[in-house]
């Protein structure tokens, strides 16, 4: 079944929210839900150990981070779909902000979103470093979050 995921891409002056569609089996979704619940429970226990009683900033849970640590196969499945979007948006942002300093001499495209990812990656892939820790966050769909017992 296809699922839409929300990804926030961190750019120079503003973030960009995009949607990606990923094909997942019922078993994969069940496994993701299980991993998310387990990770959130572990984080809750760690956060509860705050000695001075102050609330430290806690970033929102990131699906890619959880899967990277708990299930590399599921991480790869999602990252293969998310990476091209992050790459293209980061490239557009770089060209917008730094112009000819980053634009490849063979790049004569008006809209990089309409160019095949493979062409752009061939042209710019060696010059860009993209990773999910620094460049984006994948929000966990509410339906994949554990239900709180009342």
Distance between CA 5 and CA 116 in Å, rounded? Answer: 21
- Per-residue buried b or exposed e for 107-141, using 16+ beta carbons within 10 Å of the residue's own CB: eeeeebeeeeeeebbebbeeeeebebeebbbbebb
Q: Which residues in the chain belong to E strands, given as ranges?
A: 2-10, 15-23, 136-138
Q: Which residue has the tokens 């699922």?
A: 3
DSSP character string of 113-135: GGS-HHHHHHHHGGG----HHHH
d(CA 42, CA 64): 16
Neighbours of 40 (CB within 10 A): 15
C-alpha closest to that of 140 among 3, 1, 2: 3
How many residues are given for the chain?
Answer: 150
pTM given for the model = 0.87
What distance in Å separates the CA atoms of residue 92 and residue 12, rounded to the nearest whole number?
11
Q: Are 102 and 123 in contact (CB under 8 A)?
A: no
**pLDDT tens, per residue, the chain with 150 residues:** 999 999 999 999 999 999 999 999 999 999 999 999 999 988 877 655 555 555 566 677 899 999 999 999 999 999 999 999 999 999 999 999 998 888 999 999 989 999 999 999 999 999 999 999 999 999 999 999 988 644
Please calculate the CA angle 115-116-122 and round it to the nearest 5 degrees.
105
């Amino acid at each position: 079944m296809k699922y839409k995921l929300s990804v926030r891409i961190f750019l120079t002056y503003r973030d960009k929210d995009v949607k990606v569609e990923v094909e997942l089996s019922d078993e994969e979704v069940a496994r993701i839900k299980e991993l998310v619940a387990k990770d959130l429970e572990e984080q809750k226990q760690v956060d509860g150990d705050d000695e001075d009683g102050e609330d430290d900033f806690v970033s929102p849970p990131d699906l890619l981070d959880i899967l990277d640590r708990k299930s590399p196969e599921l991480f790869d499945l999602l990252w293969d779909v998310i990476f091209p979007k992050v790459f293209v948006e980061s490239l557009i942002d770089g060209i917008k902000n730094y112009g000819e300093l980053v634009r490849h001499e063979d790049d004569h495209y008006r809209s990089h979103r309409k160019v095949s990812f493979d062409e752009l990656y061939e042209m710019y892939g060696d010059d860009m470093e993209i990773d999910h820790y620094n460049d984006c966050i994948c929000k966990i769909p509410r339906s994949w979050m554990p239900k709180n017992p009342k």
